[in-house]
């Protein structure tokens, strides 16, 4: 790998590590505070039926493995509905945030296809970054691989 590519990857890693955002419930989520845990970021939208269908898998993962896993559900643009009102009908344990301008999704290497899941190992290495729905079993297997 040439020096320029290494510098760009290092800069992107530092930006990713530094991200912190306000969640819909008023709490904050900081990637640096999750160090030592496998981090799962789910890119979704209220208007995306497959996204909404898989949200319970991410919530279950957090509820069952909260000591070793951190989960963030990030609503990506376009934001066409009041996310807070939408979530009021559910009792999810995971934090939800809104990426109004798409800057965080861009930093995460998001595609234009939703849903998309990004998994970081406990030491901050991206081990999975793919669009498409996941079953609970597939999600657990990906998390297990990231933690190895």
Q: Does the structure show a pLDDT above 60 at 14?
A: no
pLDDT tier for residue 46 given thresholds of 50, 70 and 90: very high
pLDDT for res 140? 97
Among all chains, which residue has been given the structure tokens 């912190």? 20
Its pTM stands at: 0.87
- Does the N-terminal peptide bond of residue 79 adopt cis geometry, omega within 30 degrees of 0? no
CA dihedral 55, 130, 139, 32 (to 10 degrees): -80
CA distance linking residue 1 with residue 19, whole number of Å: 26
- DSSP secondary structure code for residue 36 in this structure: T
Cβ neighbours around 95 below 10 Å, total: 19
pLDDT for res 81? 76
Q: In the chain, which ranges are continuous DSSP H helix?
A: 3-18, 49-65, 83-87, 103-107, 136-147
* 2 Cβ contact list (under 8 Å, min separation 6): none
**The CATH fold of domain 3-147:** Glutaredoxin (3.40.30)
**36 touches 122 (CB < 8 A):** yes
């Amino acid at each position: 790998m040439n020096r320029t590519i290494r510098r760009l990857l290092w800069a992107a890693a530092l930006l990713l590590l530094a991200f912190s955002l306000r969640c819909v419930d008023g709490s904050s989520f900081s990637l640096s505070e999750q160090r030592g845990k496998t981090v799962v970021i789910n890119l979704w939208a209220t208007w995306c039926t497959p996204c909404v269908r898989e949200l319970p898998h991410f919530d279950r993962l957090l509820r069952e493995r909260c000591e070793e896993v951190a989960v963030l559900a990030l609503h990506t643009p376009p934001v066409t509905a009041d996310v807070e009102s939408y979530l009021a009908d559910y009792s999810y344990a995971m934090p939800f945030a809104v990426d109004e301008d798409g800057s965080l999704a861009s930093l995460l290497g998001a595609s234009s296809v939703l849903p998309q899941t990004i998994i970081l190992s406990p030491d901050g290495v991206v081990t999975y970054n793919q669009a498409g729905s996941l079953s609970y079993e597939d999600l657990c297997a990906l998390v297990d691989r990231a933690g190895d």
